[in-house]
Amino acid sequence: MSVDEFFLGAGRGETSYRDAMDRAVETVIETVANRERPHSGASPEELAAQFDDPVVPEEGQRLEMTIDEVAERVLRHSVDPSNPRCAAHLQCPPMIPGLAAETLLTATNQSLDSFDQAPAATVLEERVVTALCDLFDLPEDADGVFTSGGTQSNFQALLLARDRYCDQQFDRNVQTDGLPAAAPSLRILCSEAAHFTGKQAAHHLGLGERAVYTVPTDADGCMDLDELDAALDDLDRRDELPFALVGTAGTTDFGSIDPLPALADRAADRDLWFHVDAAYGGALAVSDEFSDHLAGIERADSIAVDFHKLFYQPISCGALLLRDGADFRLMARNAAYLNPEAHDEGGIPNLVSKSVQTTRRFDALKPYVAFRTLGRTGLAELVEHTLELADDAAALVREADDFELLGEPTLNAVVFRYRPRPGLSDEAVSALNAAVRRDLLDDGRALVARTTVDGVTSLKVTLLNPTATLEDVAAMLDAVRDCGDRVADTREVTA
Ligand SMILES: *Cc1c(COP(=O)(O)O)cnc(C)c1O
């Protein structure tokens, strides 16, 4: 393979590029077409045994051969998020407009750190961000940036919250001078159902996980407001310094949405930074039917939203939105080699100053292509279908004698236990459901998640797939039953 064939450019490489892309696309189509189950069930040992030849051979081979190897060893054993019975996690089936956008953005390899590496992409990302701020009813001065996902959005939001607080309270510039002496007293409030990345961020921010004060939830998995008020009083009594209140719009297990207007009131009273982690639930903003579930989000200082979940875009794709774009000053960078013009030619946007990344993907293109192609209402239909399916699935579980429904779904996650006999102890139910989930993983017919509710092991399906039907849900429940019977039999035999 010559260098001319390898790189795309003025008249060079078209044939090689087209052949390679065609081959890749055909390979994906063949693999997907021949797959019945969401997962092959191969064990880590079986998978490892396939890769016994060298990763870095002395001499290479033709690209087609490598693609064929990847098809056989990797794609065949990849989980298939487009299968309606792949329902373990918030791993979405990627929509075709997003896959096309991914091809456009990777082939041109724009890097969003500086305008001269991504001129049109820089301007378009800013346009998409503005549209998102409008979608969440943020004010005129709002701004944002694309991120690798909720983890990075939550981290960056809490970093800005910490630094603004330290600036206002202690006249301390954390960017240049590091944490103030009072740092061990800084606190972040969130509910006990909030995503673990809040604690992770506290660690990364030098505050430690114990800086996160978790407020108990009510029966619906939402932050309990009396408990929040008690927590705030408790912090006062102990002279601790809360600086951020995190509300979740779509918790990982139940999809619960915290009472955002009441949280916004508390944050305003106490001058706390109000961050809303809407990584999962943010997509409701496109729906006329369900957007009122997000009421109050427009009062947030910052919002995390993921497009690689309920917006059906390929991984990775997320955004952080700020109510006051001027807060980005707290992390601005001026690397002379990246943006020399920024000093003498005002007005050239170099987005590196808004991001914790330097080289950065043009992920904003994916939601742009999706929005332009489906329109808001087209996207809304997908989201609405999955929420309605979750309600029907919950009804199916509720009516089955051998299943126990754990709460009504808020978004599209349904949490339940397999309880074949009413008299079974919680301990036995825990053991049974844990064994069922393991057995299902080997079986490959359905991928469901395992979680713990009130100390008892439970199962969860996250019905993200807009093509899934109630028959798919019934098939998953049947797979759970079969595995349950099998597990119970083995236990009796071995006992
Ligand atoms: C998925 C998720 C995260 C983590 O986001 P990543 O995109 O995986 O980095 C954080 N918070 C919530 C509520 C989530 O659903």
Q: What distance in Å separates the CA atoms of residue 139 and residue 100, rounded to the nearest whole number? A: 32
User: How many helices and strands, by DSSP H and E, does the chain display?
Assistant: 15, 11
Asked whether residue 97 is domain-assigned, the answer is: no
Closest ligand 1 atom number to CA of residue 154: 10
What tokens were used for 418? 């397999």
Average pLDDT of 105-126?
96
Between 263 and 486, name the one with better pLDDT.
263
In a domain, residue 228? The reply is: yes
| Percentage above 70 pLDDT, the chain | 95
Q: Which residues contact 182 (CB under 8 A, 6 or more apart)?
A: 169, 170, 241
| Residues 121 and 251 placed together within one structural domain of the fold | yes
Nearest Cα to Cα of residue 487 among 447, 452, 436, 442: 436
pLDDT at residue number 492: 52
SS3 of residue 192 by DSSP? coil
Strand positions, DSSP E, 201-253: 212-215, 241-248
Q: Which of 90, 92, 197, 312 to mutate to test the pocket of ligand 1 (most atoms within 8 A of CB)?
A: 197
Nearest ligand 1 atom, CA 195:
11
CA 263/CA 299 separation, integer angstroms: 10
pLDDT at 365: 98
pLDDT at position 493: 43
pLDDT, mean of residues 231-240:
98
Give the range among 74-78, 206-210, 247-251, 336-340 with minimum mean pLDDT.
336-340
353 with 384, same domain: the answer is: no
Work out which ligand 1 atom sits closest to the CA atom of 252.
Answer: 15
Total number of domains in the chain: 3
| Of the candidates 258, 287, 144, 280, the residue with the CA atom closest to the CA atom of residue 190 | 258
- Mean pLDDT estimate for the chain: 94
First-to-last C-alpha distance (Å) of the chain: 62
Q: For residue 237, tell me if it sits in a domain.
A: yes
Give pLDDT, residue 333.
Answer: 75
Nearest atom within ligand 1 for CA of residue 308:
7
Residue nearest to atom 15 of ligand 1 (CA): 280
pLDDT attached to residue 10: 77
- CB contact burial 424-437 (16+ within 10 A = b; e otherwise): eeeeebbebbbbbb
The verdict on 74 and 118 lying in the same domain is no
Give the atom of ligand 1 at the shortest distance from the alpha carbon of 318.
7
Please check whether residue 352 is in contact with residue 340, taking contact to mean a CB–CB distance below 8 angstroms: no
Same domain assignment for residues 390 and 314: no
Cβ < 6 A, ligand 1 pocket = 90, 149-151, 154, 195, 197, 248, 250, 252, 277, 279-280, 306, 318
Q: Look at residue 112 in the predicted model and tell me its pLDDT.
A: 97
What pLDDT score does 340 carry? Answer: 53
| Section 108-129 average pLDDT | 97
- 381 in the same domain as 355: no
Give the per-residue pLDDT at 490: 72
Long-range contacts of residues 199-208, Cβ cutoff 8 Å, at least 24 apart: 200/151, 200/155, 201/154, 201/155, 201/158, 201/159, 202/158, 204/155, 205/155, 205/158, 205/159, 205/162, 206/179, 207/162, 207/179, 207/183, 208/184
For the beta carbon of residue 276, count every other beta carbon within 10 angstroms.
32
Looking at residues 24-53, what average pLDDT do you find?
A: 92
Tens-digit pLDDT profile for residues 451-471: 999 999 999 999 999 999 999
Residue 395 falls within a domain, yes or no?
A: yes
Do 302 and 384 fall into the same domain? no
CA distance linking residue 34 with residue 388, whole number of Å: 30
Same domain, 424 and 483: yes
Neighbour-count burial of 116, counting CB atoms closer than 10 A to its CB (0-12 exposed, 13-18 middle, 19+ buried): middle
The yes-or-no verdict on residue 164 having pLDDT over 60 is yes
State the CATH number of the domain containing residue 186.
3.40.640.10
Given 79, 95, 130, the domain boundary residue is 79
Q: What is the pLDDT of residue 426?
A: 94
For residue 326, give every residue at least 6 positions away whose Cβ sits within 8 Å of its Cβ, in sequence order, or none.
141
* Substitution candidate for ligand 1 out of 148, 306, 312 with most atoms within 8 A of CB: 306
Q: Does residue 304 sit in the same domain as residue 445? A: no
The dihedral through the CA atoms of 35, 38, 41, 42 has a sign that is positive
CATH code for the domain of 29? 1.20.1650.10
Out of 305, 338, 361, a domain closes at 361
pLDDT at residue 125 above 60?
Answer: yes
Asked whether the beta carbons of 121 and 104 are under 8 A apart, the reply is: no
257 assigned to some structural domain: yes
Using CA atoms, how far residue 470 sits from 85, 252, 475, in Å, is 11, 22, 9
Query: What is the average per-residue pLDDT within 48-67?
Result: 96
Strand partners, 450: 459
Q: What is the pLDDT of residues 4-38, one digit of tens each?
A: 677 778 778 889 999 999 999 999 999 988 888 89
Q: Are residues 47 and 144 in the same domain?
A: no
Q: What is the model's pLDDT at position 78? A: 94
Same-domain check for residues 214 and 252: yes
At 36 the pLDDT is 84
Placement of tokens 């004698």 in the chain: 401
Residue 400 alpha carbon to ligand 1 centre in Å: 32
Question: What mean pLDDT is predicted for residues 77-103?
Answer: 95
Section 385-401 average pLDDT = 97
CB-based contact 16:64 (threshold 8 Å): no
Is 445 among the domain residues? yes
Select from 79, 98, 126 the last residue of a domain.
79
Q: Are residues 43 and 151 located together in one domain of the fold? A: no
Give the Cβ contact number of residue 99 at 10 Å. Answer: 15
Give the residue among 401, 459, 400, 394 at the shortest CA–CA distance from 433. Answer: 459
Q: State which residues form the domain around 71.
A: 3-79
Q: Hey, what's the torsion of the CAs at 207, 211, 217, 220, to 10 degrees?
A: 0
pLDDT at 1 over 90: no
- Greater confidence, 244 or 347? 244
Under 8 Å between Cβ of 76 and 88 = no
CA distances from 135 to 82, 286, 304, 369, 383 (A): 27, 7, 13, 16, 15
Q: Cα separation of 242 and 162, whole Å?
A: 10
Tokens of 363: 């992920």
Reported as a pLDDT band with limits 50, 70 and 90, residue 241 is: very high
69 in a domain, yes or no? yes
* pLDDT tens track for 299-357: 999 999 999 999 999 999 999 999 999 999 999 876 666 655 554 456 788 999 999 99
CA distance 478 to 147: 39
Residue 213 reports pLDDT greater than 50: yes
Q: What percent of the chain has pLDDT over 90?
A: 87
Residue 495 pLDDT? 36
pLDDT band at 445 (very low <50, low <70, confident <90, very high): confident
Asked whether residue 449 is domain-assigned, the answer is yes
Instruction: Give the mutation target among 146, 212, 260, 280 for probing the ligand 1 site: most ligand atoms within 8 A of CB.
Output: 280
My answer on whether 27 and 144 are in the same domain is no
